Chain A
Amino acid sequence: MAETAAASTFVERAHKVLGNTKLRGNFRRAMDGLMAKRAAQFADIAAWKSLRARGAAAKRRVLARLPELLEQLEANCTANGIKVHWAETTHEANSIVLKILQDHDARTIVKGKSMVSEEMHLNAFLQKHGIEAIESDLGEYIIQLAGEAPSHIVMPCIHKDKGEIAELFTRHIDGQPYTEDVAELTDAARRVLRSRFAAADAGLSGVNFAVAETGTLVLIENEGNGRLSTTLPPLHIAVMGIEKLVETLDDIPPLLSLLPRSATGQSITTYVNMITSPRKPGEKDGPQEVHLVLLDNGRSRVYADNQLRDTLRCIRCGACMNHCPVYARVGGHTYNAVYPGPIGKILTPQLDGIAVAGDLPHACTLCNACVEICPVNIPIADIMVRLRREAVHPSDSPAVMGAGCKHTATEAAVWAGWKKMYASPALYRMGAKMMQRFGNMMPGGMPLLKEWTSVRTRPVFAKKTLHELAKEQGYSDV
């Protein structure tokens, strides 16, 4: 990830994708639909506000007590028979998963949707070790066939239309005729995946909420593949980021009332699956073993900063993507990151470092649309600005990896000069005069101007400064 991200910039990738009218159409249509459906769910603004305050408070409480809650979760899971593992890095998490699978001689695993497993690049890792990982969420299955990464955290194949999917299915599924009928395509996937479920040695899933009080893993979904992955195979491995906790079972109803409504405009998902232990004696089905892998991957570093910590409240609803004017135009792949859109723009540079993803916080107009709708009230825009500043003007916070890496002496000098000029009336007057006289003579391609003028018309400087115009109008004290 790190290498590819450094290979091109967001701006370069965005330029390419902006010319792709089909892709833009796919995103526009999908985002408009999702925004309308979400708005219909929260038509009562007062109710929405109090619900959001409740959800945000639940997650803020978790962050205030994170270490002790993690220990509580571990203790309760362990008492319930779930084996808990801790991983500092994605490599460590991958190795833990691999070890568990090897201990059980597992050759194939079925996966429910999990963004943390994307963060780990788990499928590629397992493949290298001879274990086949099959994505079973329909969207994830489709992009796995295409050899692509998800372009949205909730709807991974949102960038594809049914023609492309029909072609993929004809190419990859034996005996599958070309059809654009969505029900038939869905049936084909059901047929293929049913047998994979029945034969799989293990199931892997993410976690939406882990309840510290009871040691329960809560997973939500519409398809049933998550339930299958966590029930049919003899072994279940769940992976989650260390922030995905809630304190009590009572925190679940308000958060569940926020998540699917924000994500897809549904009041609830078809299934809410609550797992508290492996199969108990006498029970006929369910996995014999359940493992939970807690992944840090930079989160504890982010946690060290009280402002940036708010990023860890995220419940991954994807609403900020759906409402982002930048995301809607460039799509998820342009971010070249596991998490795209507004949350990705603040999370990726914090997890991977500013040197790798420092351009992402700039892919934002600060329009605040994401902040308005975020169900846990994350100040995304403030954090965006903070990260921009950290890139050139590092604070002493240890939370930001690569802070200051975009600092250049020229830029610093320009801003220092700018500050001086604006602080002194005499200098300001002189500067304005200079621009008025010579501004129009500056070549558009000159170093400091180039980035601006390469995509915009160079401004024409007025013949008179504002001060001069004001004086002509009879204002004397300017």
Chain B
Amino acid sequence: MSEARARILSRLRAAPPSVAPDRPDWQPPRFGDQRLAKFRTMLESWRAEVHDTTAAAWPETLAALLGTKLAGKNSRTVIHAPNTVTGQTLAEAWAGRSDVPVLVPYIESVESFKTVLVQQADAGVTGTVAGIAETGTVVLWPGADEPRLMSLLPPVHVAVVAASSVRDTMADVVTEQGWKDRMPTNVVLVSGPSKTADIEQTLAFGVHGPKEFVVLVLTDA
């Protein structure tokens, strides 16, 4: 197949040259002190649920939210990542309580954890590395401690966002965090619950991923 490679490249090289134009100036939008408000309205426009809370109180906020959402279910299972700050905070706050859902850690490989993820999980809780105001987006940075599927397979995805990590645009986040030198296995930008409009342009939620997307904004973090 390397012959294919050589032939394709030599055809491309034989083509007449064209000049690479400069990148013209382009100013992404600025929101000033409206940034957090924009972040929230945009997220809500995607039908995400946004709740303001604090670094100390969010596990309680979540317990109350899930209490309502999962009411009527016998077993309530929430997937968390115990070796992340988010997962650890949650586990400590919910330890020994019987009025909260059961926390199941995602610490083994998907091959053995698949059944729990696909069939039992009611919600998955993840951290985020940034929020984006322009589009109402949160940035997930999965890794060894926070696996990829916990934000995708459970019907509810809860993302915890520090208000101070919210930026105006994606361009700001990419530059400021120096992504180009440290791209991980996978980065995901999430803007709302899974949706489709494939049937007669009618919106329907949860076609493959979460039906509900809950964003907890930590106003003091």
A interface residues with partner B (beta carbon < 8 Å): 29-30, 33, 47, 50-51, 53-54, 57-58, 60-61, 63-67, 70-71, 85-88, 92, 96, 136-139, 142, 155-157, 161-162, 165, 182-183, 185-187, 189-190, 193-194, 197-198, 213-216, 222-225, 227-228, 231-232, 234, 242, 248-250, 252-254, 256-257, 264, 267-280, 282-286, 294, 296, 300-301, 303-306, 309
What band does the interface of chain B fall in when counting residues whose beta carbon is under 8 Å from A? 35 or more
Contact for A284 among B9, B106, B118, B199, CB less than 8 A: B106
Q: Are B148 and A67 in contact (CB under 8 A)?
A: no
Q: Nearest 3 A-B pairs (CB), nearest first?
A: A224-B209, A139-B198, A64-B20
* CB of B26 to closest CB in A, whole Å: 4
Please report the C-alpha to C-alpha distance between residue A372 and residue B172 in the assembled complex, in whole angstroms.
29
In the assembled complex, 30 residue pairs joining A and B whose CB atoms fall closer than 8 Å, in A order, are A50-B24, A70-B9, A71-B9, A86-B8, A92-B4, A96-B1, A136-B208, A157-B199, A223-B207, A228-B152, A228-B208, A232-B110, A232-B149, A234-B111, A250-B171, A252-B174, A253-B28, A253-B169, A253-B171, A256-B170, A257-B28, A267-B134, A268-B137, A269-B191, A270-B46, A273-B186, A274-B187, A276-B187, A284-B107, A285-B147
Task: Decide: A60 near B174, CB < 8 A? Known: A92-B1, A271-B190, A284-B106.
Answer: no
Given contacts A138-B207, A286-B148, A304-B14, contact A274 B186 (CB under 8 A): yes
Q: How far is the CB of B150 from chain A (nearest CB, A)?
A: 9
Other-chain contact of B19, A64, A242, A303 (Cβ < 8 Å): A64
Q: Among residues 26 to 80 in chain B, which have CB atoms less than 8 Å away from a CB atom of chain A?
A: 26-29, 42, 46
- Distance of A85 from chain B, by nearest CB (Å): 6
The answer to whether B1 and A300 have CB atoms under 8 Å apart is: no
Q: Inside 8 A of A136's CB, which chain B residues have their CB? A: 208
Chain B residues with CB under 8 Å of A139's CB are 196, 198
**Cα-based distance from A424 to B43 in the complex (angstroms):** 69
- A309→B170 contact, CB < 8 A: no
Q: Are B209 and A142 in contact (CB under 8 A)?
A: no
Q: A61, A276, A294: which contacts B20 (Cβ < 8 A)?
A: A61
Given contacts A88-B4, A270-B46, contact A223 B209 (CB under 8 A): yes
* Interface, chain B (partner A; CB < 8 A): 1-2, 4-5, 7-9, 11-29, 42, 46, 106-111, 113-114, 118, 134-137, 143-144, 147-149, 152, 169-171, 174-175, 179-180, 183-202, 204-210
B residues less than 8 Å from A273 (CB atoms): 186, 188
- Given A248-B180, A284-B109, A224 and B152 touching (CB < 8 A)? yes
* Least distance between A218 CB and chain B CB atoms (Å): 9
- Residue of A54, A161, A232, A249 near B24 (CB, 8 A) is A54
Shortest distance between the CB of B167 and any CB in chain A (Å): 11
CB neighbours of B2 from chain A (8 A): 86
A-B contact count (CB 8 A): 250
Q: A33-B201, A136-B208, A190-B207 are in contact. Are A227 and B1 (CB under 8 A)?
A: no
**B135 proximity list for chain A (CB < 8 A):** 267-268
Given contact pairs A139-B196, A249-B180, A276-B186, enumerate 10 new A-B contacts (beta carbons under 8 Å): A54-B26, A64-B20, A162-B200, A189-B207, A214-B183, A227-B188, A252-B170, A268-B191, A279-B185, A284-B110
Given A250-B175, A275-B186: A267 and B14 within 8 A (CB)? Answer: no
How far apart are A235's CB and chain B's nearest CB, in angstroms?
Answer: 13
Contacts A182-B202, A224-B209 hold; do A242 and B8 have CB atoms under 8 A apart? yes
A271-B189 in contact given A54-B24, A213-B180, A252-B174 (Cβ < 8 Å): yes
Q: Which residues from B are CB-within-8-Å of A306?
A: 16, 18
Q: Flag if A253 contacts B170 (CB, 8 Å).
A: yes
Q: B108, A284: Cβ atoms under 8 Å?
A: yes
- Alpha-carbon distance between A60 and B21 when the two chains are bound, in angstroms: 7
> Assuming the A-B contacts A270-B195, A278-B185, A303-B11, are A283 and B175 also in contact, with contact meaning beta carbons closer than 8 angstroms in the complex?
no
Please name all residues of chain B whose beta carbon is closer than 8 Å to the beta carbon of A216 when the two chains form the complex: 183
Q: Is the CB of A157 within 8 A of B19?
A: no
Asked if B147 and A284 sit within 8 Å, CB to CB, the answer is yes
From A63, A137, A232, A278, give the contact of B198 (CB < 8 A).
A137
Contact pick for A67, options B12, B19, B193, CB 8 Å: B12
Q: Are A274 and B191 in contact, CB atoms less than 8 angstroms apart?
A: no
Decide: B174 and A250 in contact? CB cutoff 8 A. Answer: yes
B191 neighbours in A (Cβ, 8 Å): 268-271
Contact of A249 with B196 in the complex, beta carbons under 8 Å: no
Contact residues in A for B17 (Cβ distance below 8 Å)? 64
Question: With A92-B1, A228-B208, A285-B110 given, is the CB distance from A182 to B20 under 8 Å?
Answer: no
Check A86 against B1 for contact (C-beta < 8 Å): yes
With a cutoff of 8 Å between Cβ atoms, the chain B residues found around residue A296 in the complex are: 4, 8
Given known A-B contacts A232-B110, A268-B135, A275-B186, A53 and B26 have beta carbons under 8 A apart: yes
Contact (Cβ within 8 A) B196 A186: yes
A278, B148: Cα distance in complex, Å? 12
